[in-house]
Every structure is written in structure tokens, then in C-alpha cells.
Structure 1
């Protein structure tokens, strides 16, 4: 079975997605503390419009997996290797960082270091992705990896199911939303994979049919038609409209305590976060041809390659940074302090993950398969037959 071409542009999408994650986390305090300033609308916009990270990573993960595995025959050996890689490059870093963050929180809360108290709390947080606020994403990813072979088998066995994957995914997602609201009332709903079935199944559909879809999705000068232009305008208009509406309802809630039905939040979030990766893929393919010639595009791809490590590590930087809050000064000083938090989280995490990955042989314990990805990302002369893209840690 012929392997499909490697899509290096996906690293650019990951780079943009991790910038969104960092923006959300670095502005979270500002959405509470800066309400009296004239720029509060900007903080609210940056905080809500940037909520594209987790959902984009989930969609990209599904996309890469189905893009690579769907054309291949199902074998026991293939799935042994699949689960071995996930255990080493996803579960191990998750356990290590969960332990680090759990210990830090335990210390911050001033609890006694008694194993009889710590052990039950530790495992409860590990098993729910709650050791720190951002680790729910890895917990969700593990759930989806467990389901992947079953879904892959079903999509290969029933072609109609693969063709209608988006409809099926959204249907299952909203069934979970509604039943959870009326009956189950699961706590921490965002830590459970059905919350993201729409994004996950859309990624699967894109991965399976990408060779057919890309002519309609990717903006290319030599294939432009009036129908495609209308389609692209509709996509971007729907994306902007849903994103701005999503920003607006949070602004009204935060500033005026306006109450909206949960279905409005879920609906706008779902539309916005399912359209965002499509827009980002278009952007990535527009600029992807310059990743070896443009400094900024190359750095964006590099950031995407190390994004899993940056995701895991950056809260440590913000935790230390916020230990030194401002004591006085004008409003502009506070704006600069929040901007500094974003830049520190980005740059320090980026440098630390890159250096550790390049200079040590054990960095996979912390950051997954980043070293192999960094080596693969070294610019080289294009070959006629590109190798298959291996599922990365951030996928």
C-alpha cells in the first residue's frame, strides 16, 4: 500500500494553536483584574478568540492519525507499535508533569506531606486529568487514542460511516451535552472525550478524504474558480461571525453578568472551534512554501514541532512569573506586565524545550517525540517521494 505524502504544513497549524493556548493562559488573570481599564475589551477578545488550542490539537491529532493509518492494512503489529509510542511519548510525560504539578499545588496549599493523604488525591487527579488546569488535554488525548483502533476499524468496515463522520460526531457530541445537562451532570465535562467528538470526527473525515478535499480547501492561485472563492468567503465569514459572537457573549457575561442559555455557549463554541482548524490549514498551506526561506514561517513551524513540550512546560513559567506581581505603577505598566507574561511563557518554554531536546537523550520522558521531530524538521532538499508523516506527540 502506497504511503501518503508528508504534510509539513501541519506543524505551522500546531504553531498557531500553541500561540492560542499561551494567549489564553497569559490573559486569564487580566480578564478578572483589568475590568476597569479601557482596554478590557481587548483582553476579553484575546482570551476568548484565542480559545483554539485544545480543539485544534484534537482535530489535528485525529487528522494525522486517520491520514496515515486509514490507507494501511490493519495489523496487530501496527497497533502494538501505535500503543507503545503513545505509552512512551504521551503517557510517560503526562505522568511526570502531573506529578510535578501535583507536588507544587500541594506545597502551595500548605498541606501536610503525609502519604496517606497525598496518595488518594494524587491518583484521583491523575485519573481525571486534573493535576493542573492544562493537563486535561493530555487526558482527553489518551481517551481518544484508546478509541482510535475501534473507530478506524469501523470507518474502514463501513464506508458510509466514514463519509458521514462529521454528522455522526456532532450528533454524539450534542447527545452527550444534552444528556449530561439533564441526567448525568458529569463534573469537569471538558475532561471527557465526548465533549470533543465533533472536532475529532471532523479531523477523521479530513484525514480520510484529504486527497479529494484539499483541492477545495487549499487556496492555490492556479486552481481558483468562482465556486471555490464563494466557498472560501463563506468559510471565513462563518468563522469570523461565530468567533466574534462567542467573544461578545463572554464580554457581556463578564462585564454585565448577562445570562445566556448553555446551548448558546456550546453552539458558538462548536461552530467556531470546528471552523478554526480549517482556516488555519488554509493559512498554513498559503505560507508553508516559505518555511525554509522565511525566518518567521520557519520559526512558526519550529514552534509547532516543539508545541507538545511547550504546552506541558509553560505553566511553570507563568507560575514563577506571577510570583512577582506589580506593586503600583500606571495602567500601561500593568499592560506591559501582562504582555511580559505571554512573552516569557512563549520564549522561555520554547528555548528550554528545544535545548533539552537537542542536548539530552532522555528528553522524551518530558516532551515526548520532540527530538525525532526536530531532526525531521531540519531543512533539506525536497525529494520526489516524501516519506509518510509519523504521528507526533502533539497530535
Structure 2
């Protein structure tokens, strides 16, 4: 069976998503330390409105997997290759970076360097995705990769399940929320995959039916009808309204101590983070045709290609940067310091991941399939390269 067309625009969405991750992490200290600043609302906005990274990556990963695999016949060999690639390109980098961050934190905390104490602690954190604050995302991804073949088989077997995937995903997600609150009380709920079933199942539905629904999603001259324009307006209005409301409740809670129910936080987060990737896909297709003609669009796609490596590496940059906090200076100097953290995390991580991926033969151990994706993207610019191949399955 012929593979579906490659969607290079997905790399642009990844690029925007990783910018969101960097913004959240680089403003996290400011949301605590800058409460007296007149522009605290700006820091809160940047920190909360940018919370699109993890959920967007999860949705994109699901979208790409189902987009590629759903039309294909299911064979043992195909699944063997699937799991082999995830072991090499996801699990191995996860273990290596978990070890790096674990050792750094062990050193920072001044613990004794005793293997008998370190080894159990390390594996305890690895099995919970807690070797460092950002590694929970990779831990979630591994869980979802384990679930993928089962969900794929079920959706191919039961067409009604594929058609109603969004409703099923949201129902399972909220059942987990409610049962966890009332009975299970699982700690670190965000480290477990059911928390993201709404986004994951939405990605599956988009991947399965993309050829049918893309004219309703993609904003283009040839797709313009009254009903489709109405859908686009409603989508953007709902996205902005949910995002602004989500920002507002955090602003009131952080600055004024206002209390809201967990259901409100979860509800606004769910709506906002499920709509955001749809909006980003629209933006990506709007500007995607300029990937080779526009420097900035091309760089955004490149950032998306290396996003997994940047995600894993950037906390190291912030860790070093924050070793030298400001001890004096006016408000503008402090604003510049926080901006510098974002720029350093972005630029240094981007350069390191790109350089190691291009100049070494072992960088896949750290950054997974990033080196192969960079090579593929470079070859795709040649006119003799075929234009139909599957999108990257990494996210």
C-alpha cells in the first residue's frame, strides 16, 4: 500500500511547541520572584499561555503514528521495527539523560557518593519519570508507545471506536481525573498517560481521518466556504477564550491567593491544550509553503526537527545560567536577565544539538532520531528526492 504524503508542516508545529516549553521553563522563577513588578501579568501570561509543549507533542506523536500506520497492513515485522526504534531513539536517550540529571542533583544536594544508596534512588526516579522535572514527558511518551499497537488494533477492528476516538479519549481522561481524586490519589498525576488521553485520542482521530477533514482544518483559498470559515472562527474564538481564562485563574491564584476548584483548572487546561495544536496546524499550513523561501520559517522548521534534543538538553543550560542570579540592578536589568535565560536555553541548546547531530556518529544515543531527521530534511531539498514518504514518528 502506498504511503501517505509527508507533512513537513508538522515540523513547524513542533518548532512552535518547543518555543512554548522553553518559555514556560525560563519564566518559572519569574512567576515567583517578580510578583511586585508592574508587569507581573506579562510573566504570568507568558508562563501559562505557553503551556502548550507537552500536550502538543503528545497529540502530534499520536497524529503521526496513526497517520502512518492506520492505512498499513499490521504485521509482526512492522511492530518489531516500531519497538526497536522506540527502544533505540526514545528509551536510550531517556536513560542517559536521566542518569546525567540524577547525578547533577545528587551532587547539588551534597549526598554521599554511595552506590548502594544511589542505585535504588536512580531507578525509583526512572520508573516514575522523575530524574528531573522535564523528563516526565519522555516517560509519558514511552507509556503511550506501549499502548499504541493495542489502540491501533482496536481502532482498525472497530471502526466506531476510531470515529468516536475523541469522545472516548476525553471520557477515559476524566474518569481517571475523577477516580484519582476520589479513590486512587495517585501522586504526580501528570506523569501518567491517562492524564493526556484526550489529546492523544484527538491526535489519533486526526491521523486516521486527516485526508477527509483537512479541507475543514487547513485555511486555504480553495477551502473557503461559509461553513468552513465559521468553523475556523469558532475554533480560534474558543481557543483564545479558553487560553485567556486559563491565564486569568492562575494570575488570580498566584497574585491574590484566589482558590478555584480542580475541575475548573482541568477543564480549561483540557480545552485549551486540545484546541492549541489545531490552531498551530492551521498556522503551520499557512506559512509552510515558505519553508524554502523564508529564512525564519525555515529556521522554525529546523527547530522543530531538533526539538526532541533541545527538550532534553535545555535544562542543563538553564541550570548553569541560574547559577549566576542577579544581586543588584533595576527592574529592567532583571527583565533582561529573564529574557537572557530564554535566549540562552534556545540558542545554545539549538547549536549543541545541531552540531553534535551533524558532526558525530553517536549523537543518536542522546537525541534519538534527530540526526536522521536532519539528514532527511537536507536531502528533501534536492529535486530528485521523492515527495511521498512518512512523516517523522518522533515527537
Answer yes or no: same fold by TM over 0.5. Answer: yes
Q: Aligned partners of 1:382, 1:224: CA distance in 2, in Å?
A: 31
Map of 1:261-340 to 2, 5 A cutoff?
A: 261-340=261-340
Map of 1:154-173 to 2, 5 A cutoff?
A: 154-173=154-173
The Cα shift of 1:375 comes to 1.1
In structure 1, the residue matched to 2:8 is: 8
The Cα shift of 1:196 comes to 0.1
In structure 2, the residue matched to 1:64 is: 64
**Residue 260 of structure 1: SS of its match in structure 2?**
coil
Map of 1:178-197 to 2, 5 A cutoff?
A: 178-197=178-197
**Residue 74 of structure 2: SS of its match in structure 1?**
coil
Question: In the alignment, does 2:163 pair up with 1:139?
Answer: no
Question: In the alignment, does 2:128 pair up with 1:128?
Answer: yes
The Cα shift of 1:351 comes to 0.2
**Residue 230 of structure 2: SS of its match in structure 1?**
helix
Equivalenced residues, count:
394
Contact 1:13-1:280 at 8 Å conserved across structures: yes
The Cα shift of 1:380 comes to 1.6
Q: Aligned partners of 1:393, 1:219: CA distance in 2, in Å?
A: 26
Map of 1:20-169 to 2, 5 A cutoff?
A: 20-169=20-169
In structure 2, the residue matched to 1:237 is: 237
Contact 1:218-1:282 at 8 Å conserved across structures: yes
Q: 1:223 to 1:382 in 2, by over 3 A?
A: farther
Query: Unaligned stretches of 5+ in structure 2?
Result: none
Q: Aligned partners of 1:2, 1:367: CA distance in 2, in Å?
A: 30
**Residue 231 of structure 1: SS of its match in structure 2?**
helix
In structure 2, the residue matched to 1:218 is: 218
Contact 1:139-1:191 at 8 Å conserved across structures: yes
1:204-243 CA-to-partner distances (Å, cap 9, x unmatched) read 0000000001010000012211111111000000000000
Q: Aligned partners of 2:361, 2:191: CA distance in 1, in Å?
A: 32
Q: Aligned partners of 2:335, 2:200: CA distance in 1, in Å?
A: 36
Query: Unaligned stretches of 5+ in structure 1?
Result: none
1:244-271 CA-to-partner distances (Å, cap 9, x unmatched) read 0000000000001000000000000000
The Cα shift of 1:355 comes to 0.1
The Cα shift of 1:383 comes to 6.8
Contact 1:5-1:385 at 8 Å conserved across structures: no
Question: In the alignment, does 2:370 pair up with 1:393?
Answer: no
Contact 1:373-1:392 at 8 Å conserved across structures: no
Q: 1:164 to 1:383 in 2, by over 3 A?
A: farther
Contact 1:306-1:350 at 8 Å conserved across structures: yes
Q: Aligned partners of 2:215, 2:394: CA distance in 1, in Å?
A: 28
1:158-214 CA-to-partner distances (Å, cap 9, x unmatched) read 000000000000000000000000000000000000000000000000000000010
Contact 1:165-1:204 at 8 Å conserved across structures: yes
Of the structure 1 ranges 361-370 and 115-124, higher mean CA displacement relative to structure 2 is found in: 115-124
1:12-51 CA-to-partner distances (Å, cap 9, x unmatched) read 0000000000000000000000000011000000000000
Q: Aligned partners of 1:353, 1:28: CA distance in 2, in Å?
A: 24
In structure 1, the residue matched to 2:257 is: 257
Q: 1:383 to 1:168 in 2, by over 3 A?
A: farther
The Cα shift of 1:387 comes to 2.7
Q: Aligned partners of 1:57, 1:183: CA distance in 2, in Å?
A: 30
TM-score of the aligned structures, taking structure 2 as reference length? 0.99
Q: Aligned partners of 2:291, 2:383: CA distance in 1, in Å?
A: 12
The Cα shift of 1:381 comes to 4.8
TM-score of the aligned structures, taking structure 1 as reference length? 0.99
Contact 2:65-2:393 at 8 Å conserved across structures: no
The Cα shift of 1:384 comes to 9.5
In structure 2, the residue matched to 1:343 is: 343
**Residue 3 of structure 1: SS of its match in structure 2?**
coil
1:135-179 CA-to-partner distances (Å, cap 9, x unmatched) read 000000000000000000000000000000000000000000000
In structure 1, the residue matched to 2:364 is: 364
**Residue 377 of structure 1: SS of its match in structure 2?**
helix
The Cα shift of 1:119 comes to 1.1
Q: 1:393 to 1:222 in 2, by over 3 A?
A: closer
The Cα shift of 1:2 comes to 1.6
